A and B are shown apart, each in its own frame.
Chain A
Amino acid sequence: MRIGVLALQGDFARHARALQKCGSRPSAIEVVEIRKPEQLEDIDGLIMPGGESTTLLKLMDAWGFVPALEKFHAGGKPIFGTCAGLILTARDVANPAQFSLGLIDVGVERNAYGRQRESFEAAGTAVLDGRPVPIEMVFIRAPRIRRVGPGVETLARHGDEPVMARQGSVLVATFHPELTDDPTVHEYFCRMVKEAKRA
């Protein structure tokens, strides 16, 4: 199984490290850093990491990533977006409004808790495959999910607000599981990729 991490800018190295901790055998998952759209053809799933969404959009635009990502998604291959990755995959974006791929029917507000001074950590519970599991959540200049469309399942909340959600092959989180040593969320994404590959 080959999982790509979009490596244009952001914490792609931490996602690669988190993926390497998944799987029973070290060789079970091959992690590929993706810097050109044609590389998407050789992978089974993609992580869009945290970083700066404005920077990522410019780098994606320069290399024609948008049609390639749309094609990747249309082929049913799973995508996991964290923080900036969520902003890029959302249906609509506010503060300010900007282009997004619209792969998951949620509305997000950028930097919605404030600046770095307002970044925080919290313990939470995700409901994955019907079972509640504890997760660690690190929110960094994080966005907030302000609207959840009818086809979207909320997998975790912070207080009353959704912070992790899934619609079909697209998984998103406003926080950063890759910054913790807890592989729960990445293992869940790996199962999504495995199931999609089998289908």
Chain B
Amino acid sequence: MEELNGLRIADRKHIGLAEMLKGGVIMDVTNAEQAKIAEDAGAASVMALERVPSDIRRDGGVARMSPVKKIQEIQKAVTIPVMAKARIGHFVEAQILEALGVDYIDESEVLTPADEHFHIDKFAFRIPFVCGCRDLGEALRRIGEGAAMIRTKGEAGSGNIVEAVRHMRSVMSGVRRLTTLGPEELMTEAKNLGAPYDLVRWISRAGKLPVPNFSAGGIATPADAALMMQLGAEAVFVGSGIFKSSDPAKRAKAIVQATTHFKDPDVLVRVSEDLGDAMVGLEISKMAEKDLLQTRGW
């Protein structure tokens, strides 16, 4: 990894696995059957969780790590990397996922947080973490804690891309802004962002994050996936958007193609034909603040 003024970040092999997933689609799955559909459609990885976000939103209750047996079934069913979600701050769920040999842990706002003050110390683990963010400061706090990949949060289970766009634009413009600042401005910027100074200084020179940045939360169509890629996402997570649509296998394949050929409108036309119905979306501005998942974590 590039010189970070001695600041520790995630291991190169863990950031490297995120590099291997670039240009790919990571699909939420709740069982082995869905995992197989995702792999057959060309998913680069699957994310094991108990319920897809739109069901968590509908049914309420505490959302936890996926049952161990489900994760083991998914690991047996596919050869691509298997990720799984742990609750924010729930380091014992993370220990269980590590012992299961999960390939990436998503410390995720989609599940009910276990700790209202602290995220997991990700350096304590032999497997990598991905964490959500809404802006550059949140991204850098997670990278400072050891996250090997960042994903913008969006609003999971909404089927509405607007929050994903807001968060990606916020991170990208935050990075661009740092490159315009003089050295004497960086400490104040670090204070305002609530981010480690050494990371702020590194980004001001490099003009990019030191780990890959993917997009999540609201992708429901091939066009949504291509939009996020054109805005600077390096890969996409799709949750409810696939298995809550009328033809999951076909939609999954189309989103895989759209993520690779995101700059090619002719391909986007071809893959968007005859896809059946997308999941029903929610209008964010009509949702109560307490129903938002993106405000979990800090």
Contacts and interface: CB of A to CB of B under 8 A. Distances in A.
B104 A116 contact: yes
| Residue of B13, B20, B43 with most partner-chain A CB within 10 A | B20
Interface residues of B, number: 36
Nearest to A57: B42
Interface in B10-56: 12-17, 19-24, 39, 41-45
Nearest to A50: B20
B178 to A, nearest CB: 20
A27 to B, nearest CB: 22
Interface stretch (B188-196, B242-250, B254-262, B280-288): B254-262
Nearest to A121: B13
B103 A14 contact: no
Contact of B16 (A7, A59, A176): A176
Contacts of B234: 13
Main secondary structure of the interface of B (DSSP, over half): loop
A52 B17 contact: no
B101 A117 contact: yes
Interface stretch (A38-46, A71-79, A99-107, A136-144): A136-144
B257 A62 contact: yes
Nearest to B19: A11
A1 to B, nearest CB: 25
B19 A179 contact: yes
A11 B16 contact: yes
A11 B24 contact: no
B85 to A, nearest CB: 16
A41 to B, nearest CB: 18
B24 A55 contact: yes
17 contacts: A10-B20, A12-B22, A51-B44, A54-B79, A55-B24, A111-B79, A115-B102, A115-B103, A116-B103, A116-B127, A117-B127, A119-B14, A119-B16, A138-B16, A139-B13, A140-B13, A141-B17
